[in-house]
Amino acid sequence: MCLSYSVFAQSGLETFLKPSDTLNVKRRQSVYISEVAVGAAALYGLDRLWYSDYPRSKFHTLDDTGEWLQMDKLGHVFSAYQLGKIGADALKWSGENKNGQLLYGAGIGFVFLGAVEVLDGFSREWGFSWGDMVANTMGTGLYVGQQLLWGDQRIKLKFSFHRTDFAPLRPEKLGDGYLEELLKDYNGQTYWLSANVHSFFKDSKVPKWLNVAIGYGADGMISGKNMDVDGVVTDLNRRRQFYLSLDADLSKIRTDSHLLKALFDIINVIKIPFPTFEIDSKGVLKGHFIYF
């Protein structure tokens, strides 16, 4: 499949988005300055707009590995992977060599999320979580490892979300409204490892965009554990969910337009809805005509 748009190819935006074949020092400087500025602004905003609403404390650690059926930890893996990919792609655009892309680009997610953990460590509400740091390392490692092994992301980490009936039961914890629920309601989140079939079988006639995806989700949760909430012990049939589905790797769609490539790259974070098989930790097997 090939898409070509001569209008885009002649635009200034197309020229700007085209990666440099050799090191462009001005571009690299702009990437470093932008990343530092955005990261510092984000941390400052979190500290003033989020953490300031909760009591401060001495630096302390927290063991939360048993909470939310580990959905929060997969969120850290996903965030580190995606931030690392963005950082590496930005340096690739500047013409930085592969080692620089991996060392200074892919590591940005790990550094930023580590800084967020430090802020957690000084908040009485939370704490520095070694479990989160392990998850951050896994996300960065998934990106860097594939680049070192294959020079390509054959297995991408993707995300999907659907609204659930659990958020209204505890909106202050699971979110009130779609955007809050997207971030807070672990019951509706699914994380996917999406593998490109043709990348592993290059001589096959399998479409280059076709992926096979395995997913993990959970539901029945209105608290981190089956624990006391307002004096009532919660147990809503918490269960893990495992999925098998197809997916599309939009980065494999051939196009001469760097604008379309950028758009496809953004959309490619999301798992494309397909028919899906599900089996949960209770042994219940079901099929979804379309699952998202």
Question: Token pair of 176, please?
Answer: 């009130």
Q: For 159-171, give one letter per residue: b (16+ CB within 10 A) or e.
A: bbbeebebbeebe
Check residue 187 and give its pLDDT. 96
What local confidence, expressed as pLDDT, does residue 231 receive?
54
Instruction: Give the list of residues 6+ apart from residue 124 with CB closer than 8 angstroms, or none.
Output: 54, 55, 56, 57
* Stated pTM of the model: 0.92
Residue 216 is which amino acid? Y
From first to last of its 292 residues, the chain has per-residue pLDDT tens of: 445 444 444 567 888 888 988 999 999 999 999 989 999 999 998 888 778 878 999 999 999 999 999 999 999 999 999 999 999 999 999 999 999 999 888 888 899 999 999 999 999 989 999 999 999 999 999 999 999 999 999 999 999 999 999 999 889 889 999 999 999 999 999 999 999 999 999 999 999 999 999 999 999 998 887 655 555 555 578 999 999 999 999 999 998 888 999 999 999 999 999 999 999 999 999 999 999 8
CA 61 from centroid of its chain's CA atoms: 24
Domain definitions of the chain by residue range:
19-152, 154-292
User: What amino acid is encoded at 174 in this protein?
Assistant: L
Residue-by-residue DSSP string for 207-225 = -TTEEEEEEEEEES-SSSS
Identity of the amino acid at 34: S
What pLDDT is attached to residue 5? 47
